[in-house]
């Protein structure tokens, strides 16, 4: 059974992933976010999910976000085998080599708008 915090993290993850899917409607988001876009997605998840960590799998050349005792990327929860918390050196490597093929500023602005709406709704309901 998930704790209240884990349920909140899951809701944030689902909201963000659904927003990304909507933003990239009619495009192969798995290809986009697994081939160059994983660092961007991981950074976005890390920004919105409290107490999450960016993790890196050097052999697979893939990064993901660790929270709720699991590792997540665009596909959902994935195997944690081979992933470790990213070091500063790993972060610099990913920034340099994991280059997305989309307009980062545009999608960041879109996500900020979507995620702010979610925060407002949650605040009003309490």
Q: Encode the chain (126 residues) as per-residue pLDDT tens digits.
A: 889 999 999 999 999 999 999 999 999 999 999 999 999 999 999 999 989 999 999 999 999 999 999 999 999 999 999 999 999 999 999 999 999 999 999 999 999 999 986 554 444 444
Question: Is residue 126 in a domain?
Answer: no
- Tally the domains of the chain: 1
Question: Is residue 17 in a domain?
Answer: yes
pTM listed for this prediction: 0.89
Question: Is residue 125 in a domain?
Answer: no
Question: Is residue 124 in a domain?
Answer: no
Range of the domain at 52: 4-119
Cβ-defined contacts of 6-13 (< 8 Å, 24+): 6/68, 9/49, 9/50, 9/52, 9/67, 9/68, 10/68, 12/48, 12/49, 12/115, 12/118, 13/45, 13/49, 13/67, 13/72
């Amino acid at each position: 059974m998930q704790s209240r915090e884990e349920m909140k993290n899951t809701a944030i993850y689902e909201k963000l992933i659904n927003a990304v899917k909507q933003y990239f409607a009619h495009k192969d988001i798995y290809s986009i976010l697994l081939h160059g876009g994983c660092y961007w997605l991981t950074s976005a998840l890390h920004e919105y999910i409290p107490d999450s960590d960016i993790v890196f799998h050097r052999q697979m050349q893939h990064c993901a976000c660790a929270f709720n005792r699991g590792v997540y990327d665009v596909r959902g929860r994935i195997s944690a085998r081979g992933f470790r918390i990213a070091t500063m050196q790993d972060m610099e490597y990913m920034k340099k080599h994991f280059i997305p093929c989309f307009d980062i500023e545009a999608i960041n602005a879109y996500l900020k708008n979507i995620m702010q709406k979610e925060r407002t709704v949650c605040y009003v309901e309490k």
